[in-house]
Amino acid sequence: MRYVYTTLLLIFAAAIFICSCIIGRRDKRPLTKAIRYIMIAAPSTMAAYAGALLAPERLPAEFMYAVYYVVSDVLLICMLFYALKYTGIYEIRGAQKAVLYFVTGVDGVLMLLNVFTDRVFIFRCGLIEDAGTFFYGIAERGGLYNFHRLIIYGMVVLIVFPLVVKIGKSPQMYRKKFWLTLLSLLVIIAANIAYLVMGLEIDFSVLSYGIMAVAIYYFNVIYVPQGLVEGLLSSSIKNMDDSVICFDIEGNCVYANSVAYGFFKAESGEPFEDYYKEWMNGRTLSQAEDSEWKEIREINAVKRYYDVSFKRLCDRDENFVGCFFKMHDETVEVEKLAAERFRATHDRLTGIYNREHFYDVVTEAVRKAEPGTYCMVCSDIKNFKLVNDIFGINVGDELLLNIANTLKRLAGTGSIYGRLSGDRFAICMPRERFQPEVFAAEIRRIGEKSGTSTYRICLHIGVYDIVDRDIAVSVMCDRAYMAIKTIKSSLTDVIAHYDDGIRESSVSEQKVTGEFGTALEDGQFCFYIQPQVSVRGKILGGEALVRWIHPERGLVPPGEFIGILENTGLICRLDMYIWELACKKLREWKDRELTNYHISVNISPKDFYFADIYKVFTGLVEKYEISPRNLRLEITESAIMSDFDKQLVLIQRLQEYGFYVEMDDFGSGYSSLNMLKDMPVNTLKIDMGFLRQTDHEERSRTILKMMIALSRQLGMEVITEGVETKEQVDFLTEIGCDIFQGYYFARPMTVEDFEKKYFNR
């Protein structure tokens, strides 16, 4: 019996030990680690006990029993740590752990002392007969044995307690797992009690340590309680955000989750079969294949988007056993995506296409259509920046919205429209639908509605007939804008077509910019002077007006190149050249003691961007040692208006230095009488064009009268330019104009002619 039992113990212990080694390599989870300690401690206990039974003499036998008791303590510690980790009910840390180790340590020391001295008496071995052979078994236990017992029972309580608590706290599905673990523990306790109560010589309960180690491993790592998987799966489906409806082979609904019920507003038990029939569209379930589709349904008058999938369910032998539908409500995603797409393709303020998207859509439409089907209609607000500056951003935005809405309405179906940038809009529309009169009327209406009595908003439209489908949409728009640039009178003409003339001028534009550099170096530019005459007929000086003496084309007037050079920024180089020529001339006059004559030079608005005007002019005056009084500076209204505060400071500094500053072309732009009082210029150059243009001559004359009276009151000198007739001179003299410039007195002439005519008298 003894041999059979020890053999069994040793084989079983070895098997468990090997298993623990294999598991340790594969599974590194903390819980498995705790179980592995049990799987090492349990076979060690078994081996120690087998060793004691097999010991040939009393001393080794007692030693092995002592080892067995100590290892049992270790096994219980391992089980305690496992139970705590497994249940997570409480933890043993720091001092508690120290006490535990100390108490078991004392037990171990006492056990050894028991073996080697007679003073400590825990147990003694005696010879016991087993089927004719003898071995050493526990013959007697002393009072100190109770200390060992106390440790053992204490730890059993500590192990059982968390398991019991855990069972009470766990959901039904998990209880079984804890129950089975607890049960395997109880088996050992029961076996041990049985051994003690029955007073057996051999402790058969030692074998149960091994059984328990295996059971714990099995129940914790391998075993999944029946119903747990099903339970988890069904509650995952129940709590899913998607509708799930399952049908059996006959097409009966066997399950529908709560979302599905909510979705169909079906009361529990109402047939879902109707819905699937609608989905299946005449097919039978077993015929249907796995598929996915999108569906839009109106629920409570709200459009909702669904991603629906149908899946067949088959058993292991590929037999059809049922199917399910899953409906994912993707309304939020769809709407978010749509909003993002909208933001990426539409203008935020007006809600119409942005430039990139407009280009894309037009490219596509034009490519598909016959050449000449469409035209590109582009709009531009004249001086939009000023609208913002004068009326504020909100009014500017309102105006843009107004324009967007009007264009949208004018565009009608079959057209594509968008906002290209700030105040620029474009419509690509069928050519035959573009009616200039309708557009012009609408544009005027916008101007009247949005402007004020002092400032009239002016919208211009350029049209390009898309005959060449292969050019980029941006170029089509550029051509429409080129057409806009040809609009001269902003109030009467509002629409311009891109035509051959514009094409030619764009060619000549390229020519001008191409030739400019060498022309400047070759000295092809010079200036003419147009005299300025006082009311009493005295010559005061003149305005320097640039001329290009072209080797092939002859004398080219500035109208043909100034605008182009301004657009390209080259104007600055030309102006500096002319300013230098004018200063040189003034120096020459100074040397001839002709210091009573001035020269006025033109400063383009662009010059303020590219040059430090103050530095340039003071530098020139110092270089040629001339008086700043003799060099007058003509600044246009638009240059001042582009950055009023900055220009104000600049003008004041120039005046402090001694320059005369004249405001050129007053009345041709957006001048307001109100602005005059803030403008620190010395001279006002009134543009006669302003008088000529208007239909209400009488009113214009009144305004002119007021203007001159006001500027005189403010201490400004008034020059009227473009004076052509005696009547004009008489009228202007009458209302107080100081100086005249115009064909009536003289046309612009070469400097030599000027000198001959006025200095040699």
Task: Please state, in angstroms and as integers, the Cα–Cα distance from residue 571 to each residue in 379, 512, 561, 690, following that order.
Answer: 27, 12, 9, 26
Instruction: Report helix angle 436-450 to 393-411, nearest 10.
Output: 160
Question: For the residues of 296-330, what is the DSSP string, one character each?
Answer: EEEETTEEEEEEEEEEEEE-TT--EEEEEEEEEE-
Query: Considering only 389-397, 484-492, 551-559, 664-672, which stretch makes contact with Ca ion by CB under 5 A?
Result: 664-672
* Residue nearer to Ca ion on the CB measure, 202 or 723: 723
* Residue nearer to Ca ion on the CB measure, 66 or 719: 719
- Cβ of residue 445: shortest distance to ligand C2E, in angstroms? 33
List 748, 751, 754, 755, residue binding ligand C2E (CB under 6 A): 748
Q: How far apart are CA 761 and CA 755, in angstroms?
A: 9
**578 part of the interface to ligand C2E, by CB under 6 A:** yes
* Residue nearer to ligand C2E on the CB measure, 530 or 683: 530
* Residue nearer to Ca ion on the CB measure, 602 or 711: 602
Query: Considering only 143-151, 177-185, 443-451, 741-749, which stretch makes contact with ligand C2E by CB under 6 A?
Result: 741-749
Task: Tokens 């294949």: give the residue.
Answer: 289
List 210, 418, 462, 742, residue binding ligand C2E (CB under 6 A): 742
- Return the sign of the alpha-carbon dihedral for residues 223, 225, 227, 229: negative
Binding mask 554-573 for ligand C2E (x = CB under 6 A): ---xxx--x--------x--
Q: What are the strands of the beta sheet with 374-381, ordered from one edge?
A: 416-421, 424-430, 374-381, 459-465, 495-497
**607 part of the interface to Ca ion, by CB under 5 A:** no
The residue type found at 195 is Y
* Residue nearer to ligand C2E on the CB measure, 242 or 721: 721
* Residue nearer to ligand C2E on the CB measure, 470 or 752: 752
71: how many CB neighbours lie within 10 A of its CB?
21
According to CB under 6 A, which residues from 580 to 639 bind ligand C2E?
A: 602, 604
In DSSP terms, 683 is beta-bridged to 662, 717
Burial of 279 per CB tally in 10 Å (0-12, 13-18, 19+): middle
- Cβ of residue 526: shortest distance to Ca ion, in angstroms? 17
* Residue nearer to ligand C2E on the CB measure, 468 or 724: 724
Q: Which two tokens stand for residue 313?
A: 């369910």
Query: Considering only 102-110, 385-393, 600-608, 702-710, which stretch makes contact with Ca ion by CB under 5 A?
Result: 600-608
Q: How far apart are CA 8 and CA 698, in angstroms?
A: 131
List 634, 637, 662, 738, residue binding Ca ion (CB under 5 A): 634
The residue type found at 433 is R
Query: Considering only 59-67, 204-212, 375-383, 629-637, which stretch makes contact with Ca ion by CB under 5 A?
Result: 629-637
Q: How far apart are CA 724 and CA 721, in angstroms?
A: 9
Those residues with Cβ within 8 angstroms of residue 727's Cβ, 6 or more apart along the chain or in another chain: none
Q: How far apart are CA 723 and CA 641, in angstroms?
A: 26
Binding mask 8-47 for ligand C2E (x = CB under 6 A): ----------------------------------------
List 665, 679, 690, 716, residue binding ligand C2E (CB under 6 A): 665
Judged by CB under 6 A, the number of residues near ligand C2E is: 21
* Residue nearer to Ca ion on the CB measure, 350 or 602: 602
* Residue nearer to ligand C2E on the CB measure, 374 or 561: 561
Task: Please state, in angstroms and as integers, the Cα–Cα distance from residue 631 to each residue in 266, 409, 541, 646, following that order.
Answer: 93, 54, 10, 22
**637 part of the interface to Ca ion, by CB under 5 A:** no
Burial of 322 per CB tally in 10 Å (0-12, 13-18, 19+): buried
- Cβ of residue 524: shortest distance to ligand C2E, in angstroms? 14
- Cβ of residue 563: shortest distance to Ca ion, in angstroms? 14
Instruction: Report helix angle 58-87 to 30-54, nearest 10.
Output: 160
According to CB under 6 A, which residues from 721 to 740 bind ligand C2E?
A: 721-724
Q: Which residues bind Ca ion (CB under 5 A)?
A: 602, 634, 664-665
Q: Which residues bind ligand C2E (CB under 6 A)?
A: 530, 545-546, 557-559, 562, 571, 575, 578, 602, 604, 664-665, 721-724, 742-743, 748
